[in-house]
Structure 1
C-alpha cells in the first residue's frame, strides 16, 4: 500500500474514511486486530508516516513496545484491545487537554496502560507517548523537562471517534511526522522552560564572575607580550624576516593530536557530496617548484579568470600563507607586479560599504605604492587614448581647428563622463598600466572571514569581478561556513571548480618559532625602534619567554594541551600564550625569580590549565572560558551530567556507523543516546553546546544562534569529534583543576551534597578547594551509579581514576605546607 505524503487535507479525508469503516464493523477487536484495522491505518493513511519510519514490537531491556514512530524514535504508541474502554470523568469545558491525575482516579486500566507506555518512553528517551484502543486516543509526555513528573502532567484526550474526527488537526499537530507542529503539543502539555534544575553554586558568590586585576608588573608583562608577539612582526622593519623565520608549512599533523590522522588529514571532508557540479577540494601545500607557491593547475584556473579561493577555519594560517607568499615565496613576482593587498580584518571599518571600500583601497594603493594617480590629466588621457581618437573623428572634431577652446572643453566633458563610473575607470586604469609596464595584476583579499557572512559573500563577488574582468590573479580566503552556506543557497553560484583548503600547521612548532622571534627582539638581536628605552622591563619578559620556550620543548603535557585545546587555531593559541604572560592567575614574579636564580623553570601543566579555564576571572565563567562545562544540565535529570561526555565518547570510538572521515549521522547519534534514556531535546541541546565550543564539529561547519530558550537551529547532517572534545574528556574531566573550576557552574541535585560543597564557598584556600572538589567528585560518582546500563564507549569510574594523580598531587602539597 502506498502512503500519501504528510498533508493535513489528505489526512482529514483518510480519517473520515477510517472512522466510517470502524463504525460499520462492530466486532470486539483484540489487540492485534486493533493494531491492524485501526492503528496501522491511522499511522500511515491518516497521519502520513512512511513505513520505513515505523517499527513494531521493538525490544529494549526485555520489553517490547507496540509502535515506535520516527528515525530516531520520536513517539511510542501502546495499543489496547478495542473492548477495553477507559472511563473518562465528565468536564464542563469539553477541552481535549485534560489532567492525567483525574483520569487515573476513575480508570485504573488507563493508569496501567499509561505506566507501561511511560516506562518505554523513559527507558528509550522518547518524549511523546500514546495509548490507543481504537475509539480513544490519549497523548501525553512520557519524559518531561520542566521538573513535573510525567504522571502529574496533562494529556490530549480524544474520547471517541467523533472527537477524533472533530479534533483531528490537534492529533495531527501532536503525532504526525511534522516535528514543527509537535512544538504546539509541548506548548499545550509542558510548562515552558525546564524547571526543577537547582541553581548553580555561582549564584551564591557575590559579584560573580569577578574580574581579577593584574598587578603593575603583570600588566607590564602583558603589554610587552602584545608588542613582541602580536605587533612587532607586522612592522616594516622586521616583517620580511618574520615570515622567513616563523612560517610553518600548513597541514603538518601534530604529534600530540588526540584524534586519528584520518580525521586531521580530512579536515574539510564531507562538506559537499561527490557530485559533478560540486567543486574539488585540494589541499594547499606547495612545493619549491610551484609558481607563486601554488600548484600549476591552481594558477591555470586563476588565469582562466576565476579567483583562487582558499578556505580554512578561523586561525589556521590563511593570512600567514598569503603574507609568506608576498614577502618570501613569490617576493620577486610580487615586486614586479601590480600587487593590491586588501585586509578586511584591520582596514575596513565596521558598517562600511564593502563595494565602496574596495574601490577606495585600490585607488589608495595605486597612488601610494605604485605612484599612479588615476585622475592625473596625462594618465587619464593615456587610459582613454583610443576614446579620444574616436571623439576627434566624431561630430565635435571640426571644433579642433575652428574653436579649439570649445573643442578642449567638450573633450574634458567627455573624459569627465568616462571617469565618472569609478568601477570602470579603475578597471581601465589598472589594465592600461599593466599593459604599458607589462606587469601582472595580483589582488589578494585577506581576512574576509573576520567579517559577517554578508560581507564575506560581497567580498567573493568582488573577487570574481576582479578575476573575470580586470585580468587579475585574485586570491581570497573564506571560512568553510561561508563557502558552504553561499554555495548551498545559490547566493554565490560561480565558485571555481577547484577550491584550496588550508589546514593548520603544528601548533607547538609555530609557538616555538614565534616565541624565539619575540625573544630575539627582546634581547636586541633584531632591530625594533619601539623597544628603545625599556631595557629593564625587557629583561623580565625575556626571562618569561625563555621559561615558556623551555617548557614547550621539555614538558610534553604543555605541548599536548596547546596542540589539542585550541583545535589547530593558531590565533587562539597565541592568545592563550599572551594571556598566560602577565595573567593575574599566574605567579609571574615567581617564574622570573626562579629563572634569574636557577636559569630554567619548567612550567607545570596546572598553571597553563588554570589560565585556559579561568582566563582573567576568579572563577570559571562559561561565556569567557576556553573550556566547556561537561557536567552542566538542562533537564532535572542527574544522569545528564554525563550526556556531553557520552556524546564525545561515542563520536570518538570507532564503529560501523562512523564514516572514514570520522562523521556519525545525526539520526544514529540521537538514536544511540536515546537508548540511555535521554530525550531528543536534551540530546540536541547538548549537541549545540558542544558544537559552539568546538568540542565537536558538523559537516557544514555551522554553529548555533542564541534564542530566548537557549541555543537554536536545525540539526545538521552529521557530527564528528575534535581534538578539543577528546582533550576535555580524556584529560580535563577527571582532573582536580577542571572539577575545582566547573563545580561552581554545575547544578547539584542532591541537597546534602550541595550543602557540603557550598561550605566556605568563597574561600580560595587550597585546603577548602580540595575538600569541596573531592565532595563534588563523590557527587558525580553517585549520579553515575544511577545509570543502570553504562555505555561501552564511556565509563566514568575508569576515567575518574585517571585523574587521581592530580588529586594526590594537591593533597601532597597541602600536607607539605602544613608540616
Structure 2
C-alpha cells in the first residue's frame, strides 16, 4: 500500500460505495466480501495471499488470520451487520472503551470468541468487526486481565474517516509489521508511560561554544583536510588497491581465484591455435584443472563483514593480481545493485540490461555490436531462413533478404533481451575464446527474495554458458542466509572469507603510500608562508610529508586510537578518516605540539585520556550532540515514553553477552520478541524497549540480521554492532566519556541538572569538580533506573545486568588509576600482558632482524625482535614456527618480551621438492606447487637469503620444508633447503 493519504482516499471511496449499496449487504459473507475484504486489501495493504480464512481452533473456526511471509500476525472475527452494537451517543469518533464496561456489553460475546481464538495462538491483537463497527483490542496485557483494559473502537464508518490515521496505524500491514499498535495501546493502558516530559541538560547546546583557534590552527586544519582527503583515495583511485591490507585469507583467495580463472579458461577449447601462446603455456605448466571440462563454470562468494574491503579486493584482483595474458582473456561484467530500484518485479529485467551493457562495452569496439557481429550471433537463424521460409527471396534479391532479416534481428534483439544476452555470452566463449565473469556487487541491502532471484538468474546464465565465473561479494550475514536456502544447495559454489582489517594497518599502509608518493612528486610544492607560534617558532609548510609523520605518531604508534575510532565507525574507512581528522584538529591537541612534532620529527605527546577528550569535544569546549560525529548520547531518554536512562546500556549488555557466547552469525542475533520478553520479566514496558531499539538501530549501535530491513518487526533479529560494543565499553568504563555525558545529557530531574551545572561552573580544582559531577550523575542514573527495573530474577542470563551496575559504580572510585586499562582491559597495561601463550610466526626476516607473529584472540600482529631470539640462544625463526612466549606492551603496542621455547611439530614438517608457480614480488610472497602432488604452499620472500631475493623466478625448482598453517587448511614454506639448478 502507498502513503497514508492514498489509503485515506481509498477508504473514502470504499465507504461511499458501501453507503450506496448498504441494503444489499445482509449476511456475514456479504460483510466479508463487500466491506471487510476491500478495507483490508484495497485500503490497508494486505494482499489476498496474506489472508487465511476459516482456520480451525480448539473451540471453533476463525474468520480471518492475516499473515506476512507465512508468519501469522492478526486475527479478525467477522459478524453480519447489526450483531455488534456499541452503546455510545457519539459514534462519529474513535472511542477508548473498557472491554468489560457497559458500552461493549452487547459485543462481549464476539470479543470473547475472538480472544479465545487469539490467546492460545499468541496473537497480540484481535479485531471484532461487521465492516461498519471495528473493535480492536489487546489479547494479552502483562500482569492484568485484558477485559479490564480498554479497546480502541470505531463505532461507525464516519469514525473510521474521522480518525483514519489511527485506524491506519492500527490495522495497515505496513504499520502493523512495525508494531505501532503497541505505542497506541500503551498510551491508553499505561498513561504513565506516554507523555510529553521536559528534559534538561546541565549544559544546553547554546552553552557549548567553539574553542578558540589561532590563525595557524585554521591553516593547519586546511592542511590536514587536504591530507585526509588524499587518505580516502578521492584524489588517487589506485590508493585503495595499492593499500589493501592483506591477510592470510586474502592471499589464499587471490591465488585460488586466479587458479579457477585460468582453469576455466583452459577448458575453453582453442579454435585453430588462436588462443594466446603465453596463456596456453601458463595454463599448461602452472595450473591444474580443478573442474571437469564438461561444466567448468564456478560461483564464488567473497564473504566478509562490512568494512572488510571485499570490493577493493576484487578491484585489485582484476587490475593487479591476474597476469596480463589472463586478464586480456577475461570479459568482466560488473553489476552494482546499488543502482537498482529494488523492485522485485523488475529485478531480472534490470540485471539483464546491465549485463548486456557491460558485455557490449567489453566485447565490441564501439560498445555495441556491428551488423556483422549480429549476423554472427544469429548465424543459425540466417542460414535457416535463407534455406527455408525466405529461400526464394534469398535467391532472387539478397539485399532485400538482408533488409528483411535486419527487421527480424531487431525484433529478436529488442524483444527477447534474455535470449540476446545468452547469445552475447556464447559469442564471448565460443567465438572469441574468452571467459565471461559476472560480478554482482552490493546485493546485501536487498531482501532475501530479491537476492535469490538474482542468484538463480546468474546460475541459469552460468549453466547456459558452461564456461563462466560468477562472483558475489557479500557480508557474513548474507552468506549465512544464502546457505540456509534450498536454492543455494542446488548449485556448487566456493567461499572465501576476508576478515575486517585493523584500522591501524589501514593507516600504516596509506600513510606509507602517500609519504612515498609525496617524496616522488617533484611538483608538490606550495607557496611558503611564515608563521609564529606562541613560543616564537617560525615554520614554513612546503609539503604534507611532515604531517604524515604526525598522523603516524597518533594513529599508528598508539593502537588504542585506531581501534576505538574503527569501532565507533563500524569499520567504515571513510568515516574512520573523518573522525580521525576531528581528533587531530581538536583544540585539545595543542597546535604547538603538532608544529614541534613536524619540525623536530618527534612524536606528538598524547595519551588515551587526551585522545578521548579530543574525540568527545572536537572543535567545542564540551561534547555537543549533533556535531556530525560518531558519539551517541547513550544515556538520553525519550521525551514521550518513560524510560530508564540505563535502558540503552542494558540492551547492549544483553546483546554483548549473546555475542560473546555464540559461535555462528545466526546465534549472535536475538529476535525482537525474546528481547521484549527478557526485559518484561524485570519490569520494563514493551513500548520503552521498542523505542530504545528503534533509536539504536537508526544510530547503528545494533544491526539487523536482514540488512534490507531496518525497521522493527515481529520477524526482526538484532545483534550488537562494533559501534554498540565500544559505546557499552566507554559508557561503563571510561571516565572522560562518562563525564562528558554527565554534562550534556538531557535528564528528567531538573534539580540534578542544575546541581551539575553549578558544580561545572564552580571555581574548584578540576579533579574535585569531575568527581562531584560523576557522583551526581551516577546517583541520578541509578535512582531513575530503580523506578523502571527490578532485577529480582535469579537466573544466569541476568548476571550481565548486575555486572553492568557494578561497573558503573566504579566511577565513584576516584581517581581512576589508568583510564586506558580501565576502558580496554589489562592487555593495554604496559608490561607483561600474557604469559605462556603460543605465537605463530607469520614471517621473520633474519636480514632485517625482526618479524611478526599471530596470537589467537589478538587482532593485531605481534612484533618480535632479533634480540629476543639471541636471549633465547637462537639465530633465526622459520615461518610457521610456534613460539611459547610472554607478551608485553610497550609505547607502540604488543611485542614478544621473552621466548620460553620454540615449538616445532617435526611430524608435521615435510621436506619436499616444489616449483614456484605464482610470484607477487611487489607484495613479497608467492606460491609453490609440490612435485607429483596437487598441493600448493604459500611462502614469504623473507625465507630466501637476502642476496637471493632479486633472483626469485617463476618455474624455479626448490627443495623446501613445509608445514600446515595454524588452521590446518593449507601449507606454508618454512625454510628453503636449496635452489635446484
Give the TM interval when normalised to the shorter protein: 0.5 to 0.7
CA distance in 1, matches of 2:476, 2:660: 27
Aligned residue among 214, 219, 222 for 1:219: 222
Indicate the residue corresponding to 1:629 in structure 2: 633
CA distance in 2, matches of 1:481, 1:510: 24
Indicate the residue corresponding to 1:344 in structure 2: 336
Query: Is the 1:127–1:679 contact (alpha carbons within 8 Å) kept by the matching residues of 2?
Result: no
Report the RMSD for the aligned CA atoms in angstroms: 5.8
Query: Is the 1:739–1:776 contact (alpha carbons within 8 Å) kept by the matching residues of 2?
Result: yes
Indicate the residue corresponding to 1:510 in structure 2: 506
Aligned residue among 369, 379, 383 for 1:375: 369
More strand by share: 2
Aligned residue among 435, 440, 454 for 1:440: 435
Question: Are residues 1:467 and 2:490 paired?
Answer: no
Higher relative contact order (CA 8 A, sep 6+): 1
Unpaired runs of 5+ in structure 1?
17-41, 54-68, 75-95, 98-125, 141-153, 157-172, 253-283, 706-712, 811-819
1:147-546 mapped onto 2 (5 Å cutoff):
185-189=185-189, 194-195=194-195, 197-201=197-201, 204-206=204-206, 215-235=218-238, 243=241, 246-249=244-247, 286=253, 288=255, 291-292=258-259, 307-332=299-324, 334-342=326-334, 344=336, 359=353, 363=357, 366-367=360-361, 371=365, 373-400=367-394, 402-421=396-415, 424-449=419-444, 463-464=458-459, 466-471=461-466, 472-479=468-475, 496=491, 498=493, 500=495, 502-524=498-520, 532-534=524-526, 541-546=544-549
Q: CA deviation at 1:583?
A: 6.4
Unpaired runs of 5+ in structure 2?
1-56, 64-74, 84-110, 126-134, 154-169, 171-176, 265-288, 529-539, 792-797, 820-981
Q: CA deviation at 1:699?
A: 4.1
Indicate the residue corresponding to 1:139 in structure 2: 149
Q: Cα deviation per residue 1:656-700 (whole Å; 9 max; x = unaligned)? A: 997774455655543443344322222232233334434344444
Indicate the residue corresponding to 1:605 in structure 2: 608
Q: CA deviation at 1:552?
A: 4.0
Aligned residue among 547, 552, 555 for 1:549: 552
Aligned residues: 635
Q: CA deviation at 1:570?
A: 4.2
Q: CA deviation at 1:640?
A: 0.9
Relative to structure 1, the CA distance from residue 519 to residue 740 in structure 2 (aligned partners, 3 Å threshold; closer, same or farther) is farther
Q: CA deviation at 1:726?
A: 3.1
Indicate the residue corresponding to 2:725 in structure 1: 726
Indicate the residue corresponding to 2:656 in structure 1: 652
CA distance in 1, matches of 2:152, 2:408: 79
Aligned residue among 781, 784, 797 for 2:779: 781
Question: For 1:625, what is the secondary structure of its paired residue?
Answer: coil
Relative to structure 1, the CA distance from residue 714 to residue 228 in structure 2 (aligned partners, 3 Å threshold; closer, same or farther) is closer
Relative to structure 1, the CA distance from residue 624 to residue 469 in structure 2 (aligned partners, 3 Å threshold; closer, same or farther) is farther
Q: TM-score, normalised by structure 2?
A: 0.52
Indicate the residue corresponding to 1:558 in structure 2: 561
CA distance in 1, matches of 2:62, 2:591: 65
Query: Is the 1:628–1:693 contact (alpha carbons within 8 Å) kept by the matching residues of 2?
Result: yes
Q: CA deviation at 1:439?
A: 1.4
Indicate the residue corresponding to 2:116 in structure 1: 47
Query: Is the 1:139–1:155 contact (alpha carbons within 8 Å) kept by the matching residues of 2?
Result: no
Question: For 1:201, what is the secondary structure of its paired residue?
Answer: coil
Question: For 1:398, what is the secondary structure of its paired residue?
Answer: helix
Query: Is the 2:201–2:745 contact (alpha carbons within 8 Å) kept by the matching residues of 1?
Result: yes
CA distance in 1, matches of 2:358, 2:120: 65
Question: For 2:253, what is the secondary structure of its paired residue?
Answer: coil
CA distance in 2, matches of 1:418, 1:603: 69
Question: Are residues 1:641 and 2:654 paired?
Answer: no
Question: Are residues 1:679 and 2:685 paired?
Answer: yes
Query: Is the 2:76–2:114 contact (alpha carbons within 8 Å) kept by the matching residues of 1?
Result: no
Aligned residue among 693, 696, 707 for 1:690: 696
CA distance in 1, matches of 2:777, 2:562: 32
CA distance in 2, matches of 1:485, 1:683: 27
Relative to structure 1, the CA distance from residue 777 to residue 313 in structure 2 (aligned partners, 3 Å threshold; closer, same or farther) is farther
Query: Is the 2:704–2:717 contact (alpha carbons within 8 Å) kept by the matching residues of 1?
Result: yes
Q: CA deviation at 1:626?
A: 1.7
Question: For 1:620, what is the secondary structure of its paired residue?
Answer: coil
Relative to structure 1, the CA distance from residue 772 to residue 446 in structure 2 (aligned partners, 3 Å threshold; closer, same or farther) is same
CA distance in 2, matches of 1:50, 1:807: 53
Indicate the residue corresponding to 1:277 in structure 2: none
CA distance in 2, matches of 1:655, 1:584: 37
Q: CA deviation at 1:609?
A: 3.6
Question: For 2:332, what is the secondary structure of its paired residue?
Answer: strand
Q: CA deviation at 1:631?
A: 0.8
Indicate the residue corresponding to 2:105 in structure 1: none
